[in-house]
Structures are given as structure tokens and as C-alpha cells.
Amino acid sequence: MGNEKNENNDCNAHVRAVNDAMYVLSGKWKISVLASLCYNGQRRFSDLLGDVTGISNKMLSKELKELEINKLVSRKIIDSHPIAINYELTDHGKKLTSVIRSLSEWGTEHRRQIIRNSYESMNDNA
């Protein structure tokens, strides 16, 4: 009986930790922005706009600010003409690299699976 209670507390702690992570990473764009920085390194705002298809300037600005607040992304002003701003993952943000790579691998496999199932379903109906 006591062992079941420990397992339940363990489970609750893991669920709470996942909820905390999802709170920070929630929304349609944050993980895509992090993925761009993960795979490309330092990026300018305009580079990120190009990398994350469909995001608006306003939304990218908002997401970057939230990622900065959560210490996942840093903003560096380059003293040039015109002034350039580079974004990159912080050391804390780099800890998400394995998560982002795993999501990418899973997403690739999931797409293959869905396409394969759709193709097989179309052939079964023919």
C-alpha cells in the first residue's frame, strides 16, 4: 500500500514537471523558434521569420520576448550600421536540444506513418 502511494507521488511530480515545461513552451510557435535556433545557431529576426513559416512579425517578437523571460533565448545587439540583433539559445535553452531533436525524429516518423496509412487505405478502397 505504501509503495503505491510513493508511485503515485512520483507520477504526480512527473506530471507537474511536464505541465511546467508545457506552460513555458506552449503555443503554436515557440518550439519552432527554438528548433530554428537549435539547428541553425545564432539567427537574426528576419532569418527566424524565414525559418518559421507563417509566423507574423508581431507574433515572433512576442514569442522571442517570452523565451527571453524564461531564459531560453538571449538577444545580442551588434553595433553595426544598421544595428543588428542576433538571437541564440542560452545554456539553459540548449538543454532542450535533445527534446527538440527527439520531437523532430518523432515528427518525421509520424508523417511517414500517416502517409503510409493513408496510401494503404486508398489502395484498400480501390
Q: Determine the pLDDT at residue 32.
A: 97
Residue 3, in any domain of the structure: no
Pairing of strands 43-44, 73-78: unpaired
Cα Rg of the chain, angstroms: 20
Which residue in 51, 85, 84, 87 sits closest to 72, CA to CA? 87
Q: Determine the pLDDT at residue 34.
A: 98
Q: Average model confidence (pLDDT) for the chain? A: 91
Q: Determine the pLDDT at residue 76.
A: 95
Q: What is the dihedral of CA 82, 94, 59, 21, to 10 degrees?
A: -160
Q: Determine the pLDDT at residue 88.
A: 98
Average pLDDT, integer, range 93-109? 96
Number of domains in the chain: 1
Q: CA 48 to CA 64: how far, in whole Å?
A: 10
23 sits in the region (left: phi over 0; alpha: psi -120 to 50; else beta) called alpha
Domain coverage including residue 84: 28-95
Question: Could you count the other beta carbons within 10 Å of the beta carbon of residue 124?
Answer: 7
Residue 19, in any domain of the structure: no
Full-model pTM: 0.82
Q: Where residue 88 sits, what CATH number does that domain have?
A: 1.10.10.10
Q: What is the pLDDT of residues 41-75, one digit of tens each?
A: 999 999 999 999 999 999 999 999 999 999 999 99
Q: What is the pLDDT of residues 7-22, one digit of tens each?
A: 778 899 999 999 999 9
